[in-house]
Amino acid sequence: MARIIVVTSGKGGVGKTTSSAAISTGLAQRGKKTVVIDFDIGLRNLDLIMGCERRVVYDFVNVINGEATLNQALIKDKRVENLFILPASQTRDKDALTKEGVEKIINKLQEMDFDYIICDSPAGIETGALMALYFADEAIVTTNPEVSSVRDSDRILGILASKSRRAEQSLEPVKEHLLLTRYAPGRVNRGDMLSVEDVQEILAIPLLGVIPESQAVLRASNSGEPVIFDQTSDAGQAYLDTVARLLGEKRDFRFLQEEKKGFFNRLFGG
End-to-end Cα distance, the chain: 50
Collapse the DSSP code of 108 into the 3-class scheme (helix H, G, I; strand E, B; otherwise coil) and give the result: helix
Annotation: binding site for ATP: 11-18
pLDDT at 256 > cutoff 60: yes
Per-residue pLDDT reduced to its tens digit, 14-30: 999 999 999 999 999 99
Annotation: binding site: 11-18
pLDDT recorded at residue 93: 66
Per-residue pLDDT band for 259 (boundaries 50, 70, 90) equals: low
Q: What percent of the chain has pLDDT over 90?
A: 80
CB 250 within 8 A of CB 207: no
pLDDT at 269 > cutoff 80: no
pLDDT at 214 > cutoff 80: yes
What is the Cα–Cα distance from 92 to 253, expressed in whole angstroms? 41
Backbone phi, psi, residue 143, to 5°:
-145, 150
Q: Which of 169, 110, 174, 167 is nearest to 137 (CA)?
A: 174
Residues 233, 44, 82, 62, Cα dihedral to 10° = 180
pLDDT at 264 > cutoff 50: no
Per-residue pLDDT band for 257 (boundaries 50, 70, 90) equals: confident
Per-residue pLDDT reduced to its tens digit, 173-196: 999 999 999 999 999 999 999 999
Edge-first strand listing for the sheet containing 75-76: 75-76, 83-86, 34-38, 116-120, 3-8, 138-143, 175-183, 207-212
> What is the crossing angle of helices 234-246 and 215-223, to 10°?
80
Q: What is the CA radius of gyration of the chain?
A: 18
Q: Which of 229, 215, 224, 218 is nearest to 48 (CA)?
A: 224
pLDDT at 66 > cutoff 50: yes
Domains and CATH numbers, the chain: 3-253 (3.40.50.300)
Q: What angle do CA 250, 21, 123 make, to 5 degrees?
A: 105
pLDDT recorded at residue 260: 53
| DSSP 8-state assignment for residue 170 | T
Centroid of chain to Cα 24 = 8
What is the Cα–Cα distance from 201 to 182, expressed in whole angstroms? 18
Collapse the DSSP code of 67 into the 3-class scheme (helix H, G, I; strand E, B; otherwise coil) and give the result: coil
Neighbours of 64 (CB within 10 A): 21
What is the Cα–Cα distance from 67 to 166, expressed in whole angstroms? 30
pLDDT recorded at residue 266: 44
Neighbours of 36 (CB within 10 A): 29
Per-residue pLDDT reduced to its tens digit, 113-171: 999 999 999 887 888 889 999 999 999 999 999 999 999 999 999 999 999 999 999 99
Burial class of residue 72, CB neighbours in 10 A (0-12, 13-18, 19+)? exposed
Per-residue pLDDT reduced to its tens digit, 73-126: 999 999 999 999 999 887 766 667 889 999 999 999 999 999 999 999 988 788
